[in-house]
Structure 1
Amino acid sequence: MTVLGIETSCDETAAAIVRGPANAEILSNVVRSQIDEHTEFGGVVPEIAARAHIEVLDRIVDEAMKDAGCGWDDIDAVAATAGPGLIGGVIVGLMTAKAIAMAAGKPLVAVNHLEGHALTARLTDDLEFPFLLLLVSGGHSQFLLVKGVGDYERLGTTIDDAIGEAFDKTAKLLGLPYPGGPAVERMAAQGDVSRFKLPRPLLDRPGLDMSFAGLKTALRTQAKKLEPIDDQTVADLCAGFQRAVADVLASRTKSALALFEDRFPGRPPVVVVAGGVAANKEIRSALTSTASEANARFVAPPLQLCTDNAAMIAWAGIEKMRLGPVDDMATSPRPRWPLDQTASGVLGSGKKGAKV
């Protein structure tokens, strides 16, 4: 199958063509970032993001088709992110996919953005089920058992800020530019990791849930004590913050791997990290070491497939099409869409569904 994927859930407008499942191949993968549009605001503005998607998505799809050397007769289906995400952007992508599918006479596949991340390792590494997934992004931080396409069990999640969100808020607090995650990582490389003793929240409690709001508050307290802070202090705070996050993830990953071995005795443990925060080098290093100590296989997709992209959406579309019937034109965009439909919302739920 050859599938066109469309991704517009946040601030990247993306389209890709992927062929598979046998001998999976990414024929094109075009991503247009909106960093310039949001920089002056210090974060993503939903209305601006939606308008930017509208302005460029047709061109991005056309570019992806040309890069792949495909015409519409070569495409077997159209897959698009249907949630979760900023609802304005999700609507733009899904409605565009519906229009293309209807005009070209192709099936439509509505993809959960998180499932795109979850299945990327099967595209890149031909990974078999089950495996342990650590999903770390701007909006989500959770451990999941990936038992099959559409079959996910949440083992633990953040009870407050997602990791990417905590990085962005820390950057803003310290006067660093947007996007915050890469800015904090750059400053941390120049910092003294031992200068500030920042907390590792929840590590004294059982389970796999995480918390990062208290860590961010502790960093703010340290910064306030030393105002005005110089560049070296900013670097030292970033180094301490980043190390604390890496330590929390490493500790929770160790516990998650032990749980995986209990659930699947005799099955070689595999841990996959996905999502934008997976691009952080210190976090990757900490997780690699943890997996090695546990004699587990560690899988991290290439950096360009960790951040939001449409190749993962096209691949998830292929995975879903293998199982049978796909979606129809009545499919609605969803701002919230947990992978584990049976798990209760840690932060509650409402008309739009569970919050995490």
Structure 2
Amino acid sequence: FDPGRVVLASTKTDKPEPVWVAELAGATLAIDRSYAAVALAKRGGPVAERALADALGKDKFWAVRGTAALGLGAIRTTTARDTLIRALGVERHARARRMVARALGEFVQDPTAGAALATVVERGDASYFVEAEACLALGKTRSQRAGELLRLAATRESFTDVIRQHAYRGLAEARDDSATGLLVDGLRWGRITQGRRAAANALAQLIRGRRDREARDVRERIELLLADKDFRVQAAAVEALLVIADPAAVPALQRMIERELDPRLRRRGKEVIRDLGEGAPVQEELRRLRDEVGELRNLAGALRERIDRLEVPVETKKKKKKKNR
């Protein structure tokens, strides 16, 4: 149905697993192979994993290889992880390599995945964007070396400050509270806009739900950005205050609304004030639920891998019995 996805529509297609495998291996158009990779990743299992691994190693188009990598990251088995680590070292196309690094970030608390990403962050990459993606993924793995290496990466200059942006985000993902000083320094006027916005967002992620003295100081520092000369930094500060979810930020937002002429800032400021009044406790609950979902995904991946290992000997025994008959 609809080869090449040329029809403007939202569709949900369910096919038998062998059909998806054949489509991933032999469809003429890359977009059809990519959709097959996504479908197999949702199914999971050893057959889907083998098909995705083959596509990652053999497909001619970088986007299909990248989609296969993301699929292996979603499956989260040790064999999928090892396949991704090998691909990270041999993949030549920067965009596909970037997606491989992103997929490895799904292996939270996995020292092997963390070590592979740490190597990329430490040595660098020919592509700024691959190096940046590795920084964010390393933070997501919560590796013990994440804090040290991401601080090192944050000193590197790059196009649109992309490495520093992702290093800041990685520190937030790693839950590195000791990085607060570095991130506050990243807010300073004179630094590249994208990096300043990323620092504000990372600080908000780190202190979200906290009400201690350090969190108050950080919130007040972000409130100062509401009067920044850069509109984009002002907008990032508004969003950061929403993430922090502290109703004490309402007076600063009200002052911004009264002072600013830009209707976009005023409208968003009013929306954030409304949300802080209605759902401040909900933000902390969402954070807790996200962490629990991540842990459950890792557990599900480990259980799936164990089940797959148990199924193989059972199938082998059945085949032997048939032969004996």
Smaller-chain TM-score bracket:
under 0.3
Which has the larger helix fraction? 2
The alignment's TM-score, normalised by the length of structure 1, stands at: 0.20
Higher relative contact order (CA 8 A, sep 6+): 1
The alignment's TM-score, normalised by the length of structure 2, stands at: 0.22
Which has the larger strand fraction? 1
Larger radius of gyration: 2
